Amino acid sequence: MPRILDGVAIAAAIQQEVAGEVRALAARGIRPGLAAVLVGSVAASEIYVRSKVQSCASLGIFSDLITRPETVTTAEMFDLVASLNVREEIDGILIQLPLPAQVDTKALLDAVDPAKDVDGFHSVNAGRLLAGRPTLAPCTPAGILEILKRSGIPIAGQHAVVVGRSDIVGKPAAMLLLHQNATVTICHSKTRDLGDLTRQADILVAAIGRAGFITAEMVKPGATIIDVGMNRITDQSEFARFFAGDAKREAAFAKRGSVLIGDVHPKAFEQAGAYTPVPGGVGPLTIAMLMANTVRAAKMRRGL
């Protein structure tokens, strides 16, 4: 049986460590602070931001939730970011994505002070990550690395294949694995003979954003699969394609009218030596690493 890598337990351990660091800083009169910026009223974004604010409260981190209407302009968002950049009690600035189409997202993310860029999206921090210098790394890729390390999965000398080339997950995950001495191949939707490459992977990171995209035939027996995908299925025929015969999932689908699935077909996990489930795998690590980055930013800003 493949080993399930419990992201919930690993995230809880990291949160405990962060709480200890917050207490240590409090003894020196320092309280890390996070500003969370939410634009519009997208239900999923509201849930994500609320969970981040709740995590701050549970760990003793100061948080300031700032909301703006769907109609906000790029100029107004620039003014907001400029004001947060100079607020001394704010160590981290989180801008919840996606933003409305009229807002220049890339320009706005680059307007954040790199020292407060706890999402690790700023061009300066991306460059530091590429160069292997100390920086604030994107939360999901950093969480992937924590799952592998804390689960005792060897990285050095292993062939890691990352399927997905986004600036948020794919590229930074590849860089972090490379810095841990893995041999890294980056693939994407236009890669020819994709299965030939994924079948070579000792560590397979699926971050392409397509439900059940990685099938059993694409997985090397015994590989470690890190499933970053988070796709919601609401169609009955699509549900049957992935989960037919799964009584637990069928009950959940009947009750809620939807279920979550990653970028890996459930049957593919049977090939693995270890894997992250969806939900309960990579997802919880994203918030845990955001908290860790906020504390790290607070320390770095003060030269600690």
CATH 3.40.50.10860 residue ranges of the chain are 27-118
Look up tokens 């694995």; give the residue: 177
Query: Would you state the CATH architecture of domain 139-285?
Result: 3-Layer(aba) Sandwich (3.40)
27-118 homologous superfamily: Leucine Dehydrogenase, chain A, domain 1 (3.40.50.10860)
pLDDT tens string 245-291: 889 999 999 999 999 999 999 999 999 999 999 999 999 999 999 99
What pLDDT is attached to residue 43?
Answer: 83
What pLDDT is attached to residue 41?
Answer: 86
How far is the CA of 152 from the CAs of 161, 199, 220, in angstroms?
18, 22, 19
Which contacts of 107-110 are long-range, i.e. CB under 8 A and separated by 24 or more positions? 107/74, 107/78, 108/74, 108/77, 108/78, 108/81
**CA Rg value for the chain:** 20
Q: List, for the chain, all residue ranges whose pLDDT scores fall below the cut of 50.
A: none
Q: Tell me the average pLDDT of the chain.
A: 96
CATH 3.40.50.720 residue ranges of the chain are 139-285
Q: Which residues are catalytic?
A: 52, 96, 119
Look up tokens 């607020």; give the residue: 87
Closest to 187 (Cα-Cα) out of 210, 168, 166, 162: 162
Provide φ and ψ at 55, rounded to 5°: -65, -40
- Six token digits for residue 113: 């002070």
- Full-model pTM: 0.94
CA distance 299 to 274: 35
Q: What is the 3-state secondary structure (H, E, C) of the chain?
A: CCEECCHHHHHHHHHHHHHHHHHHHHCCCCCCEEEEEEECCCHHHHHHHHHHHHHHHHHCCEEEEEEECCCCCHHHHHHHHHHHHCCCCCCEEEECCCCCCCCCHHHHHHHCCHHHCCCCCCHHHHHHHHHCCCCCCCHHHHHHHHHHHHCCCCCCCCEEEEECCCCCCHHHHHHHHHHCCCEEEEECCCCCCHHHHHCCCCEEEECCCCCCCECHHHCCCCCEEEECCCEEECCHHHHHHHHCCCHHHHHHHHHHCCEEECCECHHHHHHCCEECCCCCCCHHHHHHHHHHHHHHHHHHHCCC
